[in-house]
Amino acid sequence: MAPNKNKSSGRASGEDLKQEDVLQAVVIADSFNVRFGPLTLKKPRALLPLVNVPLIDYTLNFLAAAGIQEVFVVCCHLADQIRTHLKNSKWSEVGSSMTVTPILSDGCMSVGDSLREIDSKSLIRSDFILITGDVVSNIAIQNIMDIHKKRREKDKSSLMTMVYKKAPIGHATRCHEDDIVLAVGTNTKRILHYQKTRQEKRLNIPADILLDHSDVQIHYELMDCQISICTPLVPQLYTDNFDYQTREDFVKGILINEEILGNTIHLHVIQDEYAARVSNLQMYDAVSKDIMKRWTFPVVPDQNYFSDKKHVSYGRHNIYKSQDVSLGRGCVLEENVFIGCNTSIGSNTHIIDSVIGDNCIIGDNVKIKGGYLWENVRVEDDCCIDTAVVASGVTIYRKTTVDVGSVLAWNVQVGPDVVLPPNVLLMSDKEKDEFADSEDEDGTDQPTEGTPEFGSKSKAFNYKACRDSDAEDDDDDVDEVMWRLKIHSDDESFDDDDSTILSDESDMLDGDFGDFGDLEDKDSAMFYSELIDTLKRAKEENIKSDNVILEINSLKHAYNISINDVNMSVVKAVLDLPLEKTNTADRSNLLNAFKNSLSEHRPLMLNYIKSSEAQIDCLKAVEELCINNEFVRKILGKLILHMYNEDYIEENNIFKWYSLDSPNQTDPFYNQIQTQVDPLIKWLKEAEEESSEED
Amino acid sequence: MPAGDTEKLEERIESFTKDMKLGNQQGSYSVASNTVNLLVRIIAQTKWTSALDLMNIVKSEGKRLMSSQPSETVIGNMVRRILKIIREEYTSASRGTTEEEESQDSLHKLLLSEKQAEDFSSQTPTLKASVIEAVSELKSELETSAENISAQALEHIHANEVIMTCGKSKTVEEFLKNAAKQRKFQVIVVECAPFYYGQELALSLAKSGIETMVINDTAVFAIMSRVNKVIIGTHTVMANGGLKAINGSHAIALAAKHYSVPLIVCAAMFKLSPQYLCSYDQDAFNKFVSPHEVLPFSEGEILAKAQIHNPVFDYVPPELVTLFISNIGGNAPSYVYRLLSELYHPDDHDLDNSNNSH
């Protein structure tokens, strides 16, 4: 009996898990936006049903399947509902393989806030999965975790692995809002540049990226799955940088700071598996269809994936029927249809690409195409619903047409005998927030029960997305056209649109480099003068070198200077300071002054002049100084020797610098420099040979 | 029994159903042996007083295991086997009769015994031990089944024959390798798109020195005239002797019929299911998986406009099968009904109904 136990017992046998082996995940169960219009006023997005199952259940099941043992769910908006949901879920039952802990924090306004909260509670002990509460996936994340850990072993600086899936332009499960351009090292899989395209028609990829890396791939076909594997450092970094609001901010911040902090972000592209985030209504539509078309297998309604109690039967053409469904005579379920428990459908009704929830009553001669009906919806005879979300408790009276892109929120009533305009967002109560006042003045809503334009028995009011004062304007535009975008994508025109954008972008890529030169010069000049001031002030006020370094780093950001320039400028500044003081001093004094200044700024130098690249930069700076100043030119050899003796520079870097093609070759003083350096090089080489002979 | 043990049992059941739902367990044999192990634990660790109690527990837990992956018939088969064992052990314990007499009931005796229905309610203190012992016999049967099947290889494969097979069946792989130890023959492997398991099988056969050729699914008919025997594995043997086998098997079976090539199916007894085919749809029979093997997700626009199906199994009707080779010997499809009545008690064929009757 004993030998073949191992598979089934596995984790269960109570093996003592080391603490670092507990796999953790953080689920952000809030979207921090109003993409789901009036629907999220009463229920948080994570609990909205997707093919009859709350969104968060998809995420939690995905994590459980991946072998995660400890999950923290950060809930903010309507947190109580999520907490109750989790309490009643199977995760709180005995024998559950995963503990799910809700973290309630009403104060959180962004992903950044949530992670700062996580950090302040110091819950994270090892690498963890960061995911939003609305991701549907069937990835075996364990493999990606292993790759991430292996990479971490080799390279401590890797902070995060982001998961992407290929979904080329025109793919239904790709939404324009989340379009993204990535520059990635071909072999290293390191993300070098990250940019959301949004409405922008231009693409700005810093020239450095293309210059510094020999192999760069630029991706436009990837879809962000919103799953990332993070090191415990990530929440700390969010705490350190209180201005990081979203993961996008974080990624951008890391990429810009990368040169200083040395942190990197990597990417993983999944092949066969499925992962997508329900980030807006268009994605809601697309992901629902993907589930019904079984891309997410085994996460499909008939596999009893979520509970053993609800039985769903599956038939050809992706028709899913729950128990106790009654179908009228002559009704047609064409393809990709899900029908919930106790739902009855009238005769001659035609349904395609739709989800009908539990306890719905659909009348006769109804046409539903791309409709997402939740629970307890009543649709009377002769109605027509096209691409719309109809929330629980809605009643649609007879002969009503709900047109493309509509959202009917909780308990709305519309009809009878009306044709709703496309893209209406309706709710059953008037808005109660501070924005309501202006609504009244507009006079669009009338204080009576219902609005006549939505039918005589209607109980419906227009919903206007409350504008987030922090959000950028173009963000809001995206909100409003969300469904419409999708409809465009049905037309061919959308694709054409996209391809022209792309070609524009590639033009931009070629053309934009010309402007870089002047801008950068100006910036670096400013940066340099600031740097000199900083160093002077530091000396006067006796500021600690650590703080000076911090200040220089912030200057670097302010003027957007590359790290090479910083290195050169620091060296130049350190040498310039004594030069300014001793304008007409004689040679020996000057060398001593240099030496003093160098030892004075030793911590600073050591901080920046570390890598061999930086050392070469340092030598270049010295070279430049020589070109401009004849006194320095004369003592160049000694200066370099001093720097070598004091361990600022290693000898092989001196050789490298020496063998470089100097940009100053045409300079009249170049020869002088060479004559100064030649003996030094000779001496170094001899010394090297000697030492190697000794060996 | 301390509460900790039941908790652990619950955890085990959870992890088993999770594995089944995710499709983490590969191969009918491992599913069968894991099911039996789990059921032994259930028998040993839950509280029950009579055989009836025990049978109800096994049934209800068994149904839970089965519902985790309806297309995996082996789980149900094992549950039924164990129910049958409990029945037998109970009768032998309460009557004091020996097993041999029981199993050699004649039809006439069976008919008579129907009248005195068992109620399984009297106390039998030795039942637990004897059931567990009998189940361990079942386990050793499972363990040796592949060996027993491959031992018959030389009776069916002769020198210089051309054998066709498809997909990747561990039983067939053993069978062919065993024959190759003494005879020289050629194997043609049908790759079975879209999963291409056939390629894996071909690789493994070629490594062990068998002359192997891979053909694609469309070439089956063209090449069938050259084949002496078709030897395939199957996922399940249905109650009527039909097969639930890997997608593509039906086409091979039809081609074999057309050329009158014998079709031999290697299947251990634990694959024999009391189910009949009543519908080709998933509920009763098939399993439809993600379409990405047929058309990758990165294909783009076309996906929105196409219906893509990716069924895993084919139904092969019993008329197309010449012979079953199981661990207890070769049988014709028409004999399957008899095997069924030996392996399972008729009351257990439909677990839902039999549960109601008690």
Cross-chain Cβ contact B298/A96 below 8 Å: no
Distance from the B261 Cα atom to the nearest Cα atom in chain A, whole angstroms: 33
The Cα A649–Cα A609 span in angstroms is 8
Let me know whether B187 and B231 are in one domain: yes
Q: pLDDT: is B255 or A547 the higher one?
A: B255
Which residues of chain A does B16 touch, with a Cβ-Cβ cutoff of 8 Å? 8
The interface residues of chain A toward chain B in range 6-35, judged by CB-CB distance below 8 A, are 7-14
Distance from the B21 Cα atom to the nearest Cα atom in chain A, whole angstroms: 6
Cross-chain Cβ contact B292/A272 below 8 Å: yes
CATH number at residue B85: 1.20.120.420
pLDDT interval class at B283 (50, 70, 90): low
Question: Rounded to 5 degrees, what are φ and ψ at A158?
Answer: -70, 120
Cross-chain Cβ contact A172/B307 below 8 Å: no
Q: pLDDT: is A14 or B19 the higher one?
A: B19
Q: Judging by beta carbons within 10 Å of its beta carbon (0-12, 13-18, 19+), is residue A642 exposed, middle or buried?
A: middle
- E strands within chain B? 162-166, 186-190, 211-215, 229-233, 236-237, 243-246, 263-266, 313-316, 323-326, 329-331
Instruction: Enumerate domains of chain A plus CATH numbers.
Output: 24-199+208-277 (3.90.550.10), 310-427 (2.160.10.10), 535-693 (1.25.40.180)
Closest partner residue to A304 (CB to CB) among B67, B282, B288 is B67
Q: Is B111 a member of any domain?
A: no
Copy the structure tokens of residue A649. 């520079």
Cis, peptide link before residue A578, omega less than 30° from 0? no
Closest partner residue to B12 (CB to CB) among A8, A304, A317 is A8
Cross-chain Cβ contact B290/A304 below 8 Å: no
Q: Is B102 a member of any domain?
A: no
Distance from the B4 Cα atom to the nearest Cα atom in chain A, whole angstroms: 11
Q: pLDDT: is A679 or B356 the higher one?
A: A679
Q: Is B338 a member of any domain?
A: yes
User: Given a cut of 70, is residue B46 above it in pLDDT?
Assistant: yes
Question: Rounded to 5 degrees, what are φ and ψ at A681?
Answer: -60, -45
Q: Which pLDDT score, from 0 to 100, does residue B116 have?
A: 54
Let me know whether B160 and B212 are in one domain: yes
Listed residue (B102, B99, B101) closest to B137, CA to CA: B99
Q: Judging by beta carbons within 10 Å of its beta carbon (0-12, 13-18, 19+), is residue A60 exposed, middle or buried?
A: buried
Best residue in B16, B297, B298 to probe A by mutation, most A CBs within 10 Å? B297
Copy the structure tokens of residue A492. 């061919």
Q: Which pLDDT score, from 0 to 100, does residue B248 have?
A: 92
Distance from the B154 Cα atom to the nearest Cα atom in chain A, whole angstroms: 30
Count of Cβ atoms closer than 10 Å to residue A612 Cβ = 14
pLDDT tens, residue by residue, A101-144: 898 887 788 888 888 888 888 888 888 999 998 899 988 888 89
Let me know whether B215 and B292 are in one domain: yes
Closest partner residue to A1 (CB to CB) among B136, B292, B308 is B136
Let me know whether B290 and B184 are in one domain: yes
- The answer, for A309 touching chain B at a CB cutoff of 8 Å, is no
Closest partner residue to A172 (CB to CB) among B38, B298, B303 is B303
- The answer, for A97 touching chain B at a CB cutoff of 8 Å, is yes
Which residues of chain A does B136 touch, with a Cβ-Cβ cutoff of 8 Å? 1
- The answer, for A319 touching chain B at a CB cutoff of 8 Å, is no
The Cα A642–Cα A655 span in angstroms is 16
What lies within 8 Å, CB to CB, of A670 at 6+ separation is A627, A662, A664
Q: Which pLDDT score, from 0 to 100, does residue B172 have?
A: 95
Size of interface A-B (CB pairs under 8 A): 121
Q: Judging by beta carbons within 10 Å of its beta carbon (0-12, 13-18, 19+), is residue B190 exposed, middle or buried?
A: buried
Which range has highest mean pLDDT (A442-446, B109-113, B232-236)? Answer: B232-236
Q: What is the DSSP letter of B299?
A: G
Q: Which pLDDT score, from 0 to 100, does residue A486 have?
A: 42
Question: Rounded to 5 degrees, what are φ and ψ at A375?
Answer: -80, 155
pLDDT interval class at B270 (50, 70, 90): very high
Q: Which pLDDT score, from 0 to 100, does residue B301 have?
A: 79
What lies within 8 Å, CB to CB, of A484 at 6+ separation is A405, A422, A423
ipTM: 0.85
- The answer, for A500 touching chain B at a CB cutoff of 8 Å, is no
Let me know whether B135 and B278 are in one domain: no
Let me know whether B203 and B338 are in one domain: yes
Q: pLDDT: is A185 or B190 the higher one?
A: B190
- The answer, for A168 touching chain B at a CB cutoff of 8 Å, is yes
In degrees, to the nearest 5, what angle opens at C-alpha A563 toward C-alphas A560 and A565? 80
Copy the structure tokens of residue A545. 């070198």
> Which residues share a beta bridge with A50?
A53
Helix (H) or strand (E) holding A509: helix A493-511
- The answer, for A298 touching chain B at a CB cutoff of 8 Å, is yes
- Taking a C-beta distance cutoff of 8 angstroms, is the pair A346, A362 a contact? yes
Report CA A505 to chain centroid distance, whole Å: 22
- The answer, for A61 touching chain B at a CB cutoff of 8 Å, is no
> Which residues share a beta bridge with A276?
A136
Which residues of chain B does A170 touch, with a Cβ-Cβ cutoff of 8 Å? 300-301
**Cα within 13 Å of Cα(A236), Cβ side:** 9
- The answer, for A603 touching chain B at a CB cutoff of 8 Å, is no
Kind of pairing between the strands at A326-327 and A344-345 = parallel
Listed residue (B274, B275, B295, B293) closest to B284, CA to CA: B275
In degrees, to the nearest 5, what angle opens at C-alpha B139 toward C-alphas B133 and B143? 145
Distance from the B240 Cα atom to the nearest Cα atom in chain A, whole angstroms: 24
Which residues of chain B does A142 touch, with a Cβ-Cβ cutoff of 8 Å? none
Cis, peptide link before residue B274, omega less than 30° from 0? no
Let me know whether B137 and B181 are in one domain: no
Distance from the B335 Cα atom to the nearest Cα atom in chain A, whole angstroms: 32
Q: Is B69 a member of any domain?
A: yes
Closest partner residue to B15 (CB to CB) among A11, A294, A297 is A11
Q: Is B261 a member of any domain?
A: yes
Let me know whether B286 and B209 are in one domain: yes
What lies within 8 Å, CB to CB, of A541 at 6+ separation is none
Which residues of chain B does A311 touch, with a Cβ-Cβ cutoff of 8 Å? 67
For chain B, how are helix, strand and coil distributed in percent, rounded to 5? 55, 10, 35
Cross-chain Cβ contact B301/A170 below 8 Å: yes
Let me know whether B291 and B163 are in one domain: yes
Closest partner residue to A95 (CB to CB) among B14, B289, B303 is B14
Cross-chain Cβ contact B40/A1 below 8 Å: yes
Which residues of chain B does A167 touch, with a Cβ-Cβ cutoff of 8 Å? 297-298, 300
Domain count, chain B: 2
Give the residues of chain A that fall short of pLDDT 70. Answer: 1-20, 95, 199, 259-260, 307-309, 431-451, 465-522, 581-588, 661-668, 690-695
Best residue in B5, B11, B33 to probe A by mutation, most A CBs within 10 Å? B11
Q: Is B229 a member of any domain?
A: yes
The interface residues of chain A toward chain B in range 322-351, judged by CB-CB distance below 8 A, are 335
Let me know whether B168 and B230 are in one domain: yes
Count of Cβ atoms closer than 10 Å to residue B77 Cβ = 26
- The answer, for A170 touching chain B at a CB cutoff of 8 Å, is yes
Domain that holds residue B51: 3-95+123-145
Best residue in B20, B33, B290 to probe A by mutation, most A CBs within 10 Å? B290
The Cα B227–Cα A323 span in angstroms is 48
Place of tokens 């050169």: A568
- Looking at A512-586, list the stretches that DSSP marks H as alpha helix, in order from N- to C-terminal side: 516-541, 545-559, 563-581
| Secondary structure of residue A354 in the 3-state scheme | strand
Q: Is B151 a member of any domain?
A: no
The Cα A33–Cα A225 span in angstroms is 18
**Cα within 13 Å of Cα(B26), Cβ side:** 4
Distance from the B314 Cα atom to the nearest Cα atom in chain A, whole angstroms: 15
CATH number at residue B264: 3.40.50.10470
Helix (H) or strand (E) holding B181: none
Let me know whether B216 and B293 are in one domain: yes
User: Given a cut of 90, is residue B173 above it in pLDDT?
Assistant: yes
Q: Is B231 a member of any domain?
A: yes
Residues in chain B, total: 358
Let me know whether B137 and B216 are in one domain: no
What lies within 8 Å, CB to CB, of A417 at 6+ separation is A397, A398, A399, A400, A455, A456
